[in-house]
Protein backbone atom coordinates (compact mmCIF):
# COMPACT_ATOMS: atom_id res chain seq x y z
CA UNK A 1 0.00 0.00 0.00
CA UNK A 2 1.39 3.42 -0.95
CA UNK A 3 1.52 6.40 1.38
CA UNK A 4 -1.34 8.14 -0.41
CA UNK A 5 -3.45 4.98 -0.12
CA UNK A 6 -2.67 4.75 3.59
CA UNK A 7 -3.61 8.41 4.08
CA UNK A 8 -6.92 7.81 2.25
CA UNK A 9 -7.54 4.74 4.44
CA UNK A 10 -6.99 6.83 7.60
CA UNK A 11 -9.39 9.47 6.27
CA UNK A 12 -12.01 6.76 5.68
CA UNK A 13 -11.55 5.42 9.19
CA UNK A 14 -12.02 8.87 10.68
CA UNK A 15 -15.15 9.50 8.62
CA UNK A 16 -16.51 6.08 9.66
CA UNK A 17 -16.30 7.09 13.31
CA UNK A 18 -18.90 9.83 12.72
CA UNK A 19 -17.05 12.24 15.00
CA UNK A 20 -18.85 15.39 16.09
CA UNK A 21 -17.50 18.16 13.82
CA UNK A 22 -18.11 20.79 16.53
CA UNK A 23 -15.66 19.26 18.98
CA UNK A 24 -12.09 20.65 19.03
CA UNK A 25 -10.62 17.14 19.00
CA UNK A 26 -12.36 16.39 15.71
CA UNK A 27 -10.98 19.61 14.18
CA UNK A 28 -7.46 18.64 15.19
CA UNK A 29 -7.88 15.09 13.84
CA UNK A 30 -9.20 16.44 10.51
CA UNK A 31 -6.30 18.90 10.21
CA UNK A 32 -3.79 16.16 11.04
CA UNK A 33 -5.35 13.93 8.39
CA UNK A 34 -5.11 16.77 5.85
CA UNK A 35 -1.47 17.22 6.79
CA UNK A 36 -0.81 13.48 6.37
CA UNK A 37 -2.48 13.54 2.93
CA UNK A 38 -0.39 16.55 1.81
CA UNK A 39 2.80 14.94 3.08
CA UNK A 40 1.97 11.65 1.35
CA UNK A 41 1.43 13.47 -1.97
CA UNK A 42 4.68 15.43 -1.55
CA UNK A 43 6.64 12.30 -0.73
CA UNK A 44 5.16 10.51 -3.74
CA UNK A 45 6.21 13.42 -5.98
CA UNK A 46 9.74 13.33 -4.55
CA UNK A 47 9.94 9.56 -5.06
CA UNK A 48 8.88 9.98 -8.71
CA UNK A 49 11.51 12.69 -9.20
CA UNK A 50 14.18 10.49 -7.62
CA UNK A 51 13.24 7.57 -9.85
CA UNK A 52 13.43 9.83 -12.93
CA UNK A 53 16.80 11.23 -11.86
CA UNK A 54 18.21 7.75 -11.14
CA UNK A 55 17.22 6.63 -14.64
CA UNK A 56 18.72 9.80 -16.11
CA UNK A 57 21.98 9.34 -14.18
CA UNK A 58 22.23 5.74 -15.40
CA UNK A 59 21.84 6.97 -18.99
CA UNK A 60 24.51 9.64 -18.46
CA UNK A 61 26.83 7.07 -16.88
CA UNK A 62 26.37 4.73 -19.83
CA UNK A 63 26.98 7.57 -22.31
CA UNK A 64 30.07 8.63 -20.36
CA UNK A 65 31.36 5.05 -20.39
CA UNK A 66 30.93 4.92 -24.17
CA UNK A 67 32.67 8.28 -24.54
CA UNK A 68 35.56 7.16 -22.33
CA UNK A 69 35.90 4.03 -24.44
CA UNK A 70 36.04 6.10 -27.61
CA UNK A 71 38.45 8.71 -26.24
CA UNK A 72 40.77 6.71 -24.00
CA UNK A 73 41.26 3.50 -25.93
CA UNK A 74 44.17 3.00 -28.29
CA UNK A 75 43.35 3.20 -31.97
CA UNK A 76 45.31 0.13 -32.95
CA UNK A 77 44.61 -0.98 -36.52
CA UNK A 78 46.44 -4.28 -36.24
CA UNK A 79 44.62 -7.61 -35.98
CA UNK A 80 46.55 -8.95 -33.02
CA UNK A 81 44.30 -7.54 -30.23
CA UNK A 82 47.38 -6.42 -28.35
CA UNK A 83 46.31 -2.93 -27.20
CA UNK A 84 49.85 -1.89 -28.18
CA UNK A 85 51.22 -2.62 -24.69
CA UNK A 86 52.97 -5.88 -25.47
CA UNK A 87 55.93 -7.12 -27.46
CA UNK A 88 54.04 -8.77 -30.31
CA UNK A 89 56.19 -7.11 -33.00
CA UNK A 90 53.10 -5.88 -34.81
CA UNK A 91 54.70 -2.48 -35.29
CA UNK A 92 51.44 -0.68 -34.68
CA UNK A 93 52.82 1.38 -31.82
CA UNK A 94 55.29 2.96 -34.24
CA UNK A 95 52.69 3.94 -36.86
CA UNK A 96 51.49 7.17 -35.31
CA UNK A 97 54.71 8.25 -33.64
CA UNK A 98 56.76 10.85 -35.46
CA UNK A 99 59.73 12.40 -33.76
CA UNK A 100 59.68 16.12 -33.32
CA UNK A 101 62.14 18.54 -31.91
CA UNK A 102 61.88 21.94 -30.32
CA UNK A 103 63.71 25.03 -31.47
CA UNK A 104 63.63 28.49 -30.01
CA UNK A 105 63.04 31.06 -32.73
CA UNK A 106 65.98 33.49 -32.80
CA UNK A 107 63.69 36.31 -33.99
CA UNK A 108 60.79 36.17 -31.55
CA UNK A 109 61.97 33.70 -28.87
CA UNK A 110 58.93 31.44 -29.36
CA UNK A 111 59.55 27.74 -28.68
CA UNK A 112 58.42 25.85 -31.77
CA UNK A 113 58.01 22.10 -32.22
CA UNK A 114 58.85 20.74 -35.68
CA UNK A 115 58.19 17.37 -37.24
CA UNK A 116 61.35 15.41 -37.99
CA UNK A 117 60.15 14.87 -41.55
CA UNK A 118 60.73 18.55 -42.36
CA UNK A 119 64.00 19.62 -43.84
CA UNK A 120 65.98 22.07 -41.64
CA UNK A 121 66.15 24.49 -44.59
CA UNK A 122 62.34 24.70 -44.74
CA UNK A 123 61.72 25.68 -41.11
CA UNK A 124 59.61 28.83 -40.65
CA UNK A 125 58.41 30.12 -37.29
CA UNK A 126 54.59 30.04 -37.19
CA UNK A 127 54.55 32.96 -34.73
CA UNK A 128 56.61 35.54 -36.61
CA UNK A 129 56.93 33.88 -40.06
CA UNK A 130 60.73 34.28 -40.02
CA UNK A 131 62.92 31.54 -41.43
CA UNK A 132 64.70 29.51 -38.76
CA UNK A 133 68.16 28.23 -39.50
CA UNK A 134 68.05 24.73 -38.05
The whole-number average pLDDT for the span 3-18 is 93
Last residue of a domain, one of 56, 72, 88: 72
pTM: 0.47
Q: DSSP class of residue 75?
A: -
Give the model confidence (pLDDT) of 119-128 as tens digits: 767 788 888 8
Q: Which residue has the higher pLDDT, 104 or 16?
A: 16
- Please report whether residue 81 resides in a domain: no
- Please report whether residue 54 resides in a domain: yes
- Please report whether residue 86 resides in a domain: no
Give the model confidence (pLDDT) of 77-118 as tens digits: 555 555 555 555 555 555 555 677 788 888 888 888 877 777
User: Do 53 and 112 fall within a single domain?
Assistant: no
**Domain, as residue range, for 16:** 3-72
Residue 21 has pLDDT above 90, yes or no: no
- Please report whether residue 84 resides in a domain: no
- Please report whether residue 111 resides in a domain: yes
- Total domains in the chain come to 2
Last residue of a domain, one of 72, 88, 108: 72
User: Do 60 and 24 fall within a single domain?
Assistant: yes
User: Do 111 and 60 fall within a single domain?
Assistant: no
User: Do 68 and 31 fall within a single domain?
Assistant: yes
User: Do 21 and 63 fall within a single domain?
Assistant: yes
The CA distance from 125 to 94, in Å, is 28
Nearest CA-CA partner of 3 in 33, 43, 48, 31? 43
Q: Assess contact for 20 and 26: CB atoms under 8 A.
A: yes
User: Do 56 and 103 fall within a single domain?
Assistant: no
Amino acid sequence: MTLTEKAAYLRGLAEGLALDAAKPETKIINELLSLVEDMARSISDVEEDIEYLNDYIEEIDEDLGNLEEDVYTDDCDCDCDCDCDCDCDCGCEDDDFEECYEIECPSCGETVCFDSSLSPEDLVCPACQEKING
